[in-house]
Amino acid sequence: MAKQAAPVAKQAIPAGKSVATPKVARTATEHPDYHFIKVVLTDGSSFMTRSTYGKEGDTLNLDIDPSTHPAWTGGEQKLLDRGGRLSRFNSRFAGISFNAKK
């Protein structure tokens, strides 16, 4: 059976003091390279922005962007009648009116 190490006593922290991690010098590789790139939208328009994508001056061609995606353009939504469920529901509850005045 292995011996267990004796527990280390916790030191009391004086009032008004905080426990902080020791300061370590930052290295150049700690942060990603943040540079300018050109973004080309699906309609051919482009703009410059800062990014960590690629290298300085690279071009990012988008396949989906706010000018074409239905989430931003309010695209058309359709109800699909699979297996006759929608038509069965409509025929079953056709006579119900919630806003009927008596």
Q: Is 9 a member of any domain?
A: no
Between residues 82 and 86, the one the model is more confident about:
86
In a domain, 50, yes or no: yes
Contact predicate 46/57, CB 8 Å = no
- 40, 46 in Cβ contact below 8 A? yes
Is residue 48 in some structural domain?
yes
Name the β-bridge partners of 48: 38
- pTM for this entry: 0.44
Q: Is residue 54 part of a domain?
A: yes
81's CB contacts (< 8 A; 6+ apart) are 87
Contact partners, residue 86, CB within 8 Å, separation at least 6: 79, 80
- 2-6, 30-34, 85-89: range with lowest mean pLDDT: 2-6
Please give the residue that has the higher pLDDT: either 4 or 68: 68
Within-domain flag for 44:
yes
Tally the domains of the chain.
1
Q: Domain limits at 55? A: 30-64
Per the domain annotation, does 35 fall within a domain? yes
Of residues 44, 62, 64, 42, the one with CA closest to residue 53 = 62
